Chains A and B, each alone.
Chain A
Amino acid sequence: MSARVLRNATLALGFAFLYGPIAILTAMSFNASRLVTVWGGFSTKWYSALVHDERMLQAATISLSAAALSALIATFNGLLAALALARFGAFRGRSLFAGSLYAPLVLPEVVFGLGLLLVFVALDVERGFVTLVLAHAAFTMCFATVMIHAALKDCDPTLEEAAADLGATPLRAFILVTLPLIAPSVVSAYLLAFTLSLDDFVIASFTTGPGATTLPMRIYSQVRLGVSPEVNAISTLLLGFVALILTASALLTRGRAKGGGAG
């Protein structure tokens, strides 16, 4: 009996540690009081204040469009890289290729960001939205590759052979047979890349320019002036948005694992 109480207490403690800060942040975003630490009643006024904050809205637009665009590039490149890994056999330098693809997974973001910054400076590229998108595409591609590669490994290559045997060119075989089968994972990869780009602060602060401040950067610079409930509100929105996308991604991948013929 006491063992069970202990177990549940441990669990509760663990969850409190993980989600307590988020719960407080969310609760405080509905705080009527301007003081961050004092509860002054329920209110949504910080959310309406947010709608009128031009700079915050602009940062959100930049973050969202950078995420959408960089995720698109990352998913496409990730698909190509995964195809090379899964379908081209043991070509020369395959291990090196795989290793260099997956390196950003473990590379410290500061190092990655600094490296990109040096490249942009060396090439004399003006930093801004374009460099931000490129940096995020490079950073999130490895995650997309991992997800799509896993799906391709599960996808029987004899299906492509069957399609070729029935008269489909290699490209058609891929589009008509393989792509529909791995589609849930490709969409999941896109959503993951999207959220990674949306969340990123470190790499963005190295690679973006004055004209393209992202939402995390804007929030950070505001917090330095003092935590306002408005920041809580935008953070809660961001949190909800990311949770939504990750749930969608998880549901898609699970559908693939269960059905095999889903879609």
Chain B
Amino acid sequence: MTDAPLLSIKGVSKRFGAVTALDDVSLEVARGEFFALLGPSGCGKTTLMRLVAGFEAPDAGRIEIAGEDMSGAPPHRRPVNLMFQSYALFPHLSVFENIAFGLRRQGKDKPAILARVAELLEIVKLTGVEKRRPDQLSGGQKQRVALARALAPGPRLLLLDEPLGALDRQLREETQFQLKEIQRKLQTSFVVVTHDQDEALAMADRIAVMRAGRIEQIGAPAEIYERPATRFVASFIGQMNFLPGRIEDGLFVGAFGRLPAPPTNLPDGAKAALAVRPERVAPTTDDGLDGIVEDVAFRGEIIHIRVRLASGEILRVSRGADQGARASIGDRMRLAIAADAAQLFTDER
């Protein structure tokens, strides 16, 4: 039993009228894992979360939590809590009563509730506001109250819908670390729904990248970044250059010239796109692609350079600010792409 995944989603599909929100989705979340559902808006990630919470029922497939089939179980009987994107704090109740809401439903006695609310306010680093109402709180404070309220009943699994979406940038980064810290301390499984890849990469142990109701790839952040399974994942996560061309005798040939082809199972002569990260494109003095610097953007620790190749394609190149090789607009630049730095994708779908 201890080896069973905490959350197991098996072949779940869901349609809303003519729209397919989820199409045969399967995934597993382990105990104590920080999992992220990542995808553009409308990819079905929120629907999936609402299915787990019990607000919607799947048309097909099963959802199991701690080995128990959840079909037919209403939201109030699931060992899962949800932190809403809008926070959904009860406006007529104080912060204390908001956090105590779930505890009261569990029938806890007064001293236990007092102690638990105090403990949670400590965890989310928010004290002295127990008597305030939600409309007297700042955005960051509301977010903490929502987190505390969702954690209060001690769920085995916490779902977080765009938990940082409503915060400004600085607060978001700080809160990312705090969320991770809280998750580590409590050893509760977290499933975060987000459209922000930086958020997912920074926080999650594993990420499921979703698109149009399907899962494109599940893996650790580094794995997804370095070995994207599909062209969509490659373009959605981080920056990526795509060069169109075809495979010829172990070489990748296009308008730009020839490059050593990365390992692939595509047949000779197949059309493909070569994908390479900006930081894996290296300026060189040997063989390479010639181009002219079109734009240089200084971003503190990193310099982004846009190079127009002789064939007309644009390549984005990024260099650490300390790696020298200062470039200015109009400079000639020769670029090398090593076979192991790139990946080939067919022009799919």
The interface of chain A, by Cβ under 8 A from chain B, is 156, 158-159, 161-170, 172-173, 176-177, 180-181, 260-261, 263
With contact pairs A260-B135, A261-B92, A261-B135 given, residues A165 and B86 touching in the complex (Cβ less than 8 Å): no
Q: Knowing that A161-B88, A162-B90 touch, tell me 5 more A-B residue pairs with CB under 8 angstroms.
A: A159-B91, A163-B101, A165-B75, A166-B149, A261-B135
Contacts of A162 in B (CB 8 A): 82, 84, 88-90
Q: When chains A and B are docked, how far (Å) is the Cα of A166 from the Cα of B93?
A: 15
- List 5 A-B residue pairs with CB atoms under 8 Å apart, sorted by A's residue number: A156-B86, A162-B82, A162-B84, A166-B153, A167-B105
Measuring CB to CB, which residues of chain B are less than 8 angstroms from any residue of chain A? 53-55, 74-76, 80-82, 84, 86, 88-92, 101-102, 105-106, 133-135, 149-150, 152-153
Q: List the B side residues contacting A156 at CB < 8 Å.
A: 86, 88
- B82 pairs with A177, CB closer than 8 A: no
CB distance from A263 to the nearest CB of B (A): 6
Q: Are B133 and A161 in contact (CB under 8 A)?
A: no
Whether A165 and B92, one on each chain, are in contact in the complex, defined by CB atoms closer than 8 angstroms, is no
Whether the pair B105, A172 counts as a contact (CB closer than 8 A) is: yes
| 5 pairs of A and B residues whose beta carbons are closest in the complex | A167-B105, A166-B102, A162-B88, A164-B75, A261-B91
Contact of A159 with B76 at beta-carbon distance under 8 Å, contacts A166-B81, A166-B149 already known? no
Contact between chains at B92 and A263 (CB < 8 Å): yes
Residues of chain A within 8 A of B86, CB atoms compared: 156, 158
Known: A167-B106, A261-B91. A158 touches B84 (CB 8 A): yes
Residues of the B chain whose Cβ atoms lie less than 8 Å from the Cβ of A172: 105
Contact B90 A177 (CB under 8 A): yes
For B92, what are the chain A residues with a Cβ–Cβ distance below 8 Å?
Answer: 177, 180-181, 261, 263
With A161-B55, A162-B84, A261-B135 as given contacts, are A167 and B90 in contact (CB-CB < 8 Å)?
no
User: In whole angstroms, what is the CA distance A159 to B53 when docked?
Assistant: 14
Q: How far is the CA of A71 from the CA of B26 in the complex (A)?
A: 54
> How far is it, in angstroms, between the C-alpha of A260 and the C-alpha of B89 when the chains are bound?
12
Is the pair A169, B88 in contact by a Cβ cutoff of 8 Å? no
Q: Which of B53, B84, B135, B152 lies at the interface centre, i.e. has the most chain A CB atoms within 10 A of its CB? A: B84
